[in-house]
Chains A and B, each alone.
Chain A
Amino acid sequence: MAKLRGTGISAVNYPTGMNLGGDPSQALIHATTSGSFVVSLSATDLGQGLRTVIGQIAAETLGVRMEDVVVDTADTDTGPHDMGTFASRATHRVGNAVIAAAVEAREALLDVAVDEFEAARSDLVFDGQGNLMVRGAPDRSLKIADIAAAAQFKYGRTIAGRGAWMKPKSPVDPETGAMDPDSTEAHACTVAEVEVDTETGQVTVLSIKSAYEIGQQVNPALVRGQIVGGAWMGMSHALYETTQPYYPDPEHAARDFSEYVMPGAHEMPEIECVVLEYPSSNGPYGVKGVGEMTANSPIPAIVNAIYHATGVRIDELPVTPEAILRGLDAKARAAGD
């Protein structure tokens, strides 16, 4: 009876966007008289922080502060069409639509500013703090709020933009499978360390250490949230959870949280991550989707680590203590033969 330690690795890629495309997103942006910009969407935030990330993309493109952006979602009467938040598509597609809308709104703002400043368009610079100024003349600066008010009341003009982004749907060849499934691919590599108790079959995940490459990060803290939460969910998939523990037999299906086994705070492994940034060719500011993939590489890394620790190869999930003990018994019997 012993506690055996092992290390395992895995390396994965993950696509951005609904498979084969055909999943559009649209955005509308308009300025208010107080100088804030309302971004109207139908996209849903699942808790990953999409509203915040979209606000950042809008603020960056418009040249204004984060606090000057209001993200209004989700309401089908006011938000234009969006396909939905799934397939790691939202930041990528909604972000691109928002950039297009923000560019149009920014140009409308500059049109008014050119008249207000009586300056050349190419001389106007956003300071990112809510002001527009003439290059080289810091005293010639106007608040964006004032330009917006002037647009409304002096010039009778709108400061607004529309944006849409879609990867056109493409077919798949039924004979060869030739297809264009995704917009880009993100990558991850995970190293997991486990300790297996050969008496109880229990596996303790000591650490999950990963490198992620997900294009440009819009909000590193939110990316980290996906990586850490996903590592936990991957550990849960690998070792604990299923609705049908005797699958394919449907009996004893889990009805509630007492029967649907998931690891809790006591099972937290040490989680470390490093995030590389290689901008994608078509994402907003080089974004790639990250929301789904973070449970994926921990799973085989843990299973490979169990093999390294015990010499027991288990090809079935979840890897339960029972599976470990049966595997150890089988290995002992085989050695004895």
Chain B
Amino acid sequence: MSPARHVVGRSVARSDALGHVTGRTVFTTDRAFPGLLHLKVVRSPVHHARIRGVDLSEAERVPGFVRALTHADVPHNVYTILGLIGVEPEEEFVLAVDRVRYKGEPIVAIVAESEQAALDAVARVKLDLLELPAVFDVEEALKPGAPIVTHWGNNTFMYEGHPCRRVRFGDVEAAFAQADHIVEGRYDTKPIEHAPTETTAAIAVPEANGRFTVYTNTQALYFSLDNTSIILQVPGNQLHFVGGTVGGGFGGKVDVIVEPLATLAAMKTNRPVKYAFSRQEEMQVSSTRSAWRIYMKDGVMADGRLIARKVTSYADSGAYSRQTPYALTKHAANAAGPYAIPNVSIDAYCVFTNRQPTSAMRGFGITMASFALEVQMDKIAEVVGLDPWAVRFINAYHNGDMKPHRKLVEDATLIETMQAAARLVGHELPDAFRTMTSDPRPDRGA
């Protein structure tokens, strides 16, 4: 019995309710600043190209043009948010130098007195590009002779010497040889955009004391501040980040995409600068959920027990890492599912292609794994002649089981949760499943 609590566990009214229903909640671009400048970005119109030249002369003549920022203006022009959590290498540029790797990649930032002037100037920047062959399919990208997207010579993220994140638990090949049935599946998903109703935006404002206040709808305030500090090579204490109210995130506002350029522009012009994504930029440039291709091969006994699972997964990272390499590790910890499987092999690849970079989105690394393995469970049920509930109860993990990544299961309630769902829909479970618990198995076999 949990102790009596006076507020935790109660559906108290939201503290932001009044603001939301009166329209007074302040979102990032609701703020007004005198002398505000607008930043818009010149983006690659092609999927893969060498940049031979950039001609700003006509853009500079647009009335209202204030200045342009190129890679030469960015003190540390390398952008990677993984560096902050110790994952290397650095490989994405804030503004492109001599190559673009995806349609939409930023090349030049234009700052102007009005949004329209900025857009007019962007339209007048002339790009001299030599198009290169592009690759769009994750398995094609891994074949010899494929166009190489990265600067390190192959199209995968390297995990300590391996081209993929690996899990090796038991011996899947031996188990396949023992299995009564082999069930295989291939699962394909496509990129998905967070599509929050509010687009990504930041406004950087120079303060009288020489610091810069950056109003932003980032999901990670210090993450964004630290990244901006590294890119602009200014001490973190010169930056003051203010936010906390986000019009929808879903993982799409963690990439620190607008703050560095907005702040750099504010530093160069000594005026407030707004950099807000249009809906088209939000759709086609801001990171999406990766497309995945997941191959699953399962060894199953006649009684429905899964004795081996081999997973080969490819996540399409697009042209740059963003946070996708981290996702493959998280994926590897979850691709076998909430089931007790004694032999598991997982190869999870982070593959680079010439499309808009992918990054975190609600369920990062796991949503599509759950899709694949839960459809796979139904296939297994059909092959062995059991109903879908039965195959899940038979294989559900218990506390104390060893997961393929060698962590013991704790806080497990898959069984109880399935029982509750069955009751909710009026599905009668046989006694054995109705009374099962997640308690550690008495025998604790392998």
Q: Do A and B come from one complex?
A: yes
Q: Can you list 6 pairs linking A and B with CB atoms under 8 Å apart?
A: A13-B334, A59-B7, A75-B242, A86-B360, A222-B11, A257-B195
Q: Are B412 and A185 in touch, CB under 8 angstroms?
A: yes
CA distance A55 to B371 in the complex (A): 35
Q: Are A76 and B355 in touch, CB under 8 angstroms?
A: no
Q: Which residues of A lie under 8 Å from residue B167 when comparing CB positions?
A: 176-177
Is B284 close to A, CB under 8 A?
yes
Q: Which residues of B lie under 8 Å from residue A259 when comparing CB positions?
A: 283
Q: Which residue of B lies closest to A242 (CB)?
A: B190
What is the CB-to-nearest-CB distance from B59 to chain A, in angstroms, rounded to a whole number? 24
Is B206 close to A, CB under 8 A?
no
What is the CB-to-nearest-CB distance from B248 to chain A, in angstroms, rounded to a whole number? 6
| A-B residue pairs, 7 tightest by C-beta | A84-B220, A74-B244, A177-B167, A300-B374, A174-B160, A128-B6, A221-B11
Q: Are B188 and A76 in touch, CB under 8 angstroms?
A: no
Pick from A66, A211, A281, A296: contact of B7, CB below 8 A. A66
Q: Are A295 and B367 in touch, CB under 8 angstroms?
A: yes
CA distance A51 to B192 in the complex (A): 28
Is A187 close to B, CB under 8 A?
yes
Q: Which residues of A lie under 8 Å from residue B337 when comparing CB positions?
A: 12-13
Knowing A176-B166, A281-B411, say if A86 contacts B404 (CB, 8 Å).
no
What is the CB-to-nearest-CB distance from B328 to chain A, in angstroms, rounded to a whole number? 10
- Interface residues in B185-228 by Cβ distance below 8 A to A read 185-193, 195, 218-223, 225
Is B143 close to A, CB under 8 A?
no
Is A96 close to B, CB under 8 A?
no
Chain A residues within CB distance 8 Å of chain B: 8-15, 19-20, 22, 42-47, 49, 51-52, 55-57, 59-60, 65-66, 71, 73-77, 79, 81-87, 128, 169, 172, 174-182, 184-185, 187-191, 209-213, 215-222, 230, 233, 237, 241-245, 247-250, 253-257, 259-260, 262, 272-274, 276-281, 285-286, 288, 291-293, 295-297, 299-301, 303-304, 307, 313, 315-318
Q: Which residue of B lies closest to A127 (CB)?
A: B6
Chain B residues within CB distance 8 Å of chain A: 2, 5-16, 47, 85-86, 103, 136-138, 140, 159-162, 165-169, 185-193, 195, 218-223, 225, 239-251, 254, 279-280, 283-284, 288, 291, 316, 326, 329-330, 332-334, 337-338, 346, 353, 355-356, 360, 362-368, 370-371, 374-375, 377-379, 388-389, 392, 396, 404-407, 410-414, 416-421, 423-425, 427
Report the number of A-B residue pairs with Cβ-Cβ less than 8 Å: 368
CA distance A43 to B137 in the complex (A): 38
Q: Are B413 and A278 in touch, CB under 8 angstroms?
A: yes
CA distance A301 to B388 in the complex (A): 11
Q: Are B221 and A74 in touch, CB under 8 angstroms?
A: yes
What is the CB-to-nearest-CB distance from A77 to chain B, in angstroms, rounded to a whole number? 5
Most chain A CB within a 10 A radius of its CB, from B326, B413, B427: B413
Q: Are A218 and B190 in touch, CB under 8 angstroms?
A: no
CA distance A220 to B11 in the complex (A): 5
Q: Are B223 and A292 in touch, CB under 8 angstroms?
A: no
CA distance A220 to B396 in the complex (A): 27
Q: Which residue of A lies closest to B136 (CB)?
A: A248
Q: Which residue of A lies closest to B316 (CB)?
A: A248
Q: Which residues of A lie under 8 Å from residue B193 when comparing CB positions?
A: 241, 243, 254, 260
Knowing A250-B47, A304-B374, say if A244 contacts B411 (CB, 8 Å).
no
Q: Which residues of B lie under 8 Å from residue A190 when comparing CB positions?
A: 421
Q: Are A315 and B185 in touch, CB under 8 angstroms?
A: yes
Q: Which residue of B lies closest to A303 (CB)?
A: B375
What is the CB-to-nearest-CB distance from B283 to chain A, in angstroms, rounded to a whole number? 6
Pick from B15, B159, B284: contact of A55, CB below 8 A. B15
Q: Which residue of B lies closest to A79 (CB)?
A: B221
Q: Are B239 and A76 in touch, CB under 8 angstroms?
A: yes
Q: Which residue of A lies closest to B222 (CB)?
A: A81
Knowing A44-B243, A128-B6, A254-B283, say if A296 contacts B14 (CB, 8 Å).
no
Q: Are A44 and B12 in touch, CB under 8 angstroms?
A: no
What is the CB-to-nearest-CB distance from A297 to chain B, in angstroms, rounded to a whole number? 7
What is the CB-to-nearest-CB distance from B30 to chain A, in angstroms, rounded to a whole number? 15
CA distance A260 to B356 in the complex (A): 16
What is the CB-to-nearest-CB distance from B351 to chain A, in angstroms, rounded to a whole number? 11
Pick from B47, B191, B247: contact of A247, CB below 8 A. B191
Q: Are A188 and B417 in touch, CB under 8 angstroms?
A: yes
Knowing A11-B392, A176-B167, say if A243 contacts B284 (CB, 8 Å).
yes
CA distance A241 to B418 in the complex (A): 28
Q: Are A84 and B370 in touch, CB under 8 angstroms?
A: no
Q: Are B244 and A15 in touch, CB under 8 angstroms?
A: no
Most chain A CB within a 10 A radius of its CB, from B329, B334, B374: B374
Q: Are B374 and A52 in touch, CB under 8 angstroms?
A: no
Q: Which residues of A lie under 8 Å from residue B103 when comparing CB positions?
A: 250
Q: Which residues of A lie under 8 Å from residue B225 when comparing CB positions?
A: 76
Most chain A CB within a 10 A radius of its CB, from B169, B193, B218, B370: B370
Q: Are B222 and A76 in touch, CB under 8 angstroms?
A: yes
Q: Are B246 and A44 in touch, CB under 8 angstroms?
A: yes
Q: Are A74 and B407 in touch, CB under 8 angstroms?
A: no
Q: Which residue of B lies closest to A223 (CB)?
A: B11
CA distance A230 to B361 in the complex (A): 13
Q: Which residues of B lie under 8 Å from residue A296 when comparing CB positions?
A: 363, 366-367, 370-371
Q: Are B10 and A56 in touch, CB under 8 angstroms?
A: yes
Pick from A83, A221, A247, A318: contact of B223, CB below 8 A. A83
Q: Are B411 and A280 in touch, CB under 8 angstroms?
A: yes
Q: Are A57 and B246 in touch, CB under 8 angstroms?
A: no
CA distance A175 to B138 in the complex (A): 23
What is the CB-to-nearest-CB distance from B323 to chain A, in angstroms, rounded to a whole number? 9
Most chain B CB within a 10 A radius of its CB, from A55, A60, A191: A191
What is the CB-to-nearest-CB distance from A264 to chain B, in angstroms, rounded to a whole number? 13
Q: Which residues of B lie under 8 Å from residue A43 when comparing CB positions?
A: 244
Q: Which residue of A lies closest to B245 (CB)?
A: A45
Knowing A13-B338, A74-B242, A300-B371, say if A44 contacts B417 (CB, 8 Å).
no
What is the CB-to-nearest-CB distance from A84 to chain B, in angstroms, rounded to a whole number? 3
Q: Which residue of A lies closest to B243 (CB)?
A: A74
Q: Which residue of B lies closest to A287 (CB)?
A: B8
Q: Which residue of B lies closest to A72 (CB)?
A: B244
CA distance A288 to B414 in the complex (A): 14
Q: Which residues of A lie under 8 Å from residue B371 when comparing CB positions?
A: 296, 299-300, 303, 317
Knowing A85-B220, A242-B190, say if A73 contacts B416 (CB, 8 Å).
no
